[in-house]
Structure 1
Amino acid sequence: MDIQAASLLSEMQAMQSELRPLVPANNVAPQQDFAALLSQAVGNVNGLQHSTDDLRTRFETGDESVSLESVMIAAQKSSIAFDATVQVRNKVVEAYKTIMNMPV
Structure 2
Amino acid sequence: MEINRIEKVSLNPIGLNQRKEENSSSEFVNFLKEALNRVNDLQKDYENKANDFLLGNDVNVHNLMISAEKAKLSLELTVQIRNKAIEAYQEIMRMQI
Return the TM-score normalized by structure 1.
Answer: 0.67
Alignment of 1:21-36 (within 5 A): 31=24, 33-36=27-30
Q: How many residues align?
A: 73
CA distance in 1, matches of 2:54, 2:62: 13
Provide the secondary structure at the position in 2 that maps to 1:62: coil
Greater share of helix = 2
Q: Which sections of structure 2, spanning at least 5 residues, go unmatched?
A: 1-23
Overall identity of the aligned pairs, in %: 36
Provide the secondary structure at the position in 2 that maps to 1:95.
Answer: helix
Q: Is residue 54 from structure 1 mapped to residue 13 from structure 2 by the alignment?
A: no
Partner Cα distance (2:85, 2:28) in 1? 12
Deviation string, structure 1 residues 57-86 (Cα, Å, up to 9, x no partner): 01111112x111111110000000000000
TM-score (structure 2 length as normaliser): 0.71
Match of 1:70 in 2: 63
Structure 2 partner of 1:80: 73
Q: Which has the higher contact order (CA 8 A, sep 6+)?
A: 2
Classify the secondary structure of the residue corresponding to 2:48. helix
Shift of 1:38: 0.9
Q: Secondary structure at the match of 2:57?
A: coil
CA distance in 1, matches of 2:80, 2:88: 12
- The Cα RMSD (Å) is 1.1
1:96 corresponds to which letter in structure 2? Y
Runs of 4+, deviation exceeding 6 Å: none
CA deviation map 1:31-63 (0-9, x unaligned): 572111111111100010001000000111111
5+ residue gaps, structure 1: 1-30
